[in-house]
Amino acid sequence: MTKKMGGTPMLGIVLGLTLVSGQLMNAYAVPSATAKDWATHTWNFGFAQVHMIGYQAQVIPAILAAICFNYYERFFKKITPSIVQMIVVPFCSLLLGVMTAHFIVGPIGWTLGTAVGNVVMAGISGPFRVLFGAIFGGLYAPLVITGLHHMTNAIDLQLIADTGTTMLWPMIALSNIAQGSAVLAMIVLQRNDDKAQQVNIPSCLSCYLGVTEPAMFGVNLKYVFPFVCAMIGSAVAGVICTATSTAANAIGVGGLPGILSINSKYFLSFALCMLVAVVIPFVLTYIVGKSKGIDRGVGVEDVTLDGSNVAAATAGTPESSVGAAVAAVTSAEAMGELTEDGTLCAAVSGTVIPLSQVDDAVFASGTMGEGVAIEPSAGEVVAPCDASVTVVMEETGHAVGLTLASGLELLIHIGLDTVEMNGDGFQTHVRKGSIVHRGDPLVTFDRKKVAAAGHKDTVLMVVTDKGSAEKVDLTTSGTAVAGVTPVIRY
């Protein structure tokens, strides 16, 4: 948590150790503690007494303590002369951090964690647990899009600490499987489309192994209906999962390997849930996709946001057909005006680093495609080449997608986890369908606001589709000037 917020990880470790010190009463011994025990485990300040409690297996107190500590560290770094920062900042930050952790946020976090655990436990074990399973199973995938799915880890750990198992993690694993099964249906439907299979196959494999982002963003959300079909299958699997009280002993293994986390007495029920999470999304996606002509080569550009077929929607309407034809001709003419020289310049000024060094597993692994990362020195992102704007995250402003005349597709992603800022500090200067030329402004962002939110402002340039290019050469070091310095050649 400390590293995530830009603090010093080693100091965060020290703070965490103070929460589980052997001098404190172990968290598991608190319920059975006697007056004699408290007599030797209480800080007496005269005007106040505070129980010396450890926070073993408690997640929320640790998170709250880390947040407070990071603000202390930033404050002392700001007001302390650099010559004595090495001594003053760690000491003062830890002193206040430890006091805050044990006297304020620790007890609050303990109470909050217990309350959250009780509420979730009531939902998954009460009379309406089947309904809870349907809602959580169906809506977990949309949580992944927003990044809010990370909060479920804290709830899982709290449930494991309180009851020894968690019933949330099995449904999370099933949601991963459902999204992968929807992509599997797209693989079958698009088996003759080599270009689509370059994205479909690796996305399906990573999804079945627990990493859903490539599948959702690369396939399911592009067509929409596979995403919805996967949600339906996940909801049904969630109903069965909660109805059979299937629980996991631990978290960490998602997708098909998720069965390794399941309590052994629930292996058969979880296997049934896995079967449902595979069959229902696959069958629904295949049926809907076939009805929309996906198997006959209908592409994403022919499917509207609600998943309906454009050609079918405009059939028999001359005005619509003429309008679509005019729009297509206009778009083709605009794309024809774009020039290419085989280079993509830096989208932002700064220091170029390899994509593999980025603190994001999806991008660093190359799952989304080849590319480079730039540590920016300014907050203006410009077009690296002539292109058509095909994707703009207008609400958040953190990403723009470009398509070149050759078919090469480039994703420009600003910062890590900056989607959580909901557009605060970001301003887009283009819209979907815009034609841009090298150096045209795309997005401006406030680097100070990004840092204050605890995020890194690294700008990623990822080639998600090579188009007609045979290979891509990357420049992964040096200083770059936005719109001037080539960093990708194809």
DSSP notation for 278-320: HHHHHHHHHHHHHHTTGGGT--GGGB-TTS-BHHHHHTT-HHH
The active-site residue out of 41, 102, 413, 429 is 413
The percent of residues above 70 in pLDDT, for the chain, comes to 88
Question: Is the pLDDT confidence value at 434 over 50?
Answer: yes
- Token readout for 92 is 């003062």
Question: Is the pLDDT confidence value at 318 over 70?
Answer: no
Q: How far apart are CA 226 and CA 184, in angstroms?
A: 10
Lowest model confidence (mean pLDDT) among 57-71, 87-101, 475-489: 57-71
Residue that wins the pLDDT comparison between 39 and 227: 227
Lowest model confidence (mean pLDDT) among 92-96, 106-110, 112-116, 181-185: 112-116
Question: Is the pLDDT confidence value at 330 over 60?
Answer: no
Q: What are phi and psi of 284, to 5 degrees?
A: -65, -45
Q: What is the mean pLDDT of residues 322-340?
A: 50
Q: What is the mean pLDDT of residues 22-37?
A: 79
Q: What is the mean pLDDT of residues 139-168?
A: 75
Question: Is the pLDDT confidence value at 313 over 50?
Answer: no
Q: What are phi and psi of 475, to 5 degrees?
A: -100, 115
- Read off the pLDDT of residues 185-218 as tens digits, 9 standing for 90 and up: 999 998 888 888 888 898 899 888 888 878 888 8
Q: What is the mean pLDDT of residues 84-99?
A: 89
| DSSP classification of residue 349 | S
Q: How far apart are CA 82 and CA 262, in angstroms?
A: 51
Residue that wins the pLDDT comparison between 109 and 241: 241
Q: How far apart are CA 58 and CA 19, in angstroms?
A: 10
CA angle 476, 367, 153 (to 5 degrees): 115
Lowest model confidence (mean pLDDT) among 64-68, 149-153, 361-365: 149-153
Lowest model confidence (mean pLDDT) among 52-66, 194-208, 226-240: 52-66
Question: Is the pLDDT confidence value at 319 over 50?
Answer: no
Strands 370-376 and 350-354: antiparallel
Q: What is the mean pLDDT of residues 27-38?
A: 77
> In sequence order, which residues have a C-beta less than 8 Å from that of residue 229 and are 6 or more positions away?
182, 185, 280, 281, 284, 285, 288
Q: How far apart are CA 465 and CA 482, in angstroms?
A: 22
Question: Is the pLDDT confidence value at 317 over 50?
Answer: no
Q: Is the dihedral of CA 143, 223, 236, 215 positive or negative?
A: negative
Band (pLDDT 50/70/90 cuts) for residue 123 is: confident
Task: Give the side-chain half-sphere CA count within 13 A for 10.
Answer: 2
- Read off the pLDDT of residues 377-415 as tens digits, 9 standing for 90 and up: 999 999 999 999 998 988 889 999 999 988 899 999 999
Residue that wins the pLDDT comparison between 222 and 286: 286
* Bridge partner list, 459: 374, 414
- Token readout for 460 is 């990623």
Work out the mean pLDDT of the chain and round it to a whole number.
83
- Token readout for 404 is 């070149």
Strands 486-489 and 343-345: antiparallel
Neighbours of 466 (CB within 10 A): 18
Is 413 known to be catalytic? yes
Highest mean pLDDT among 103-112, 205-214, 271-280, 325-334: 271-280
pTM above 0.75, yes or no: no
Band (pLDDT 50/70/90 cuts) for residue 450 is: very high
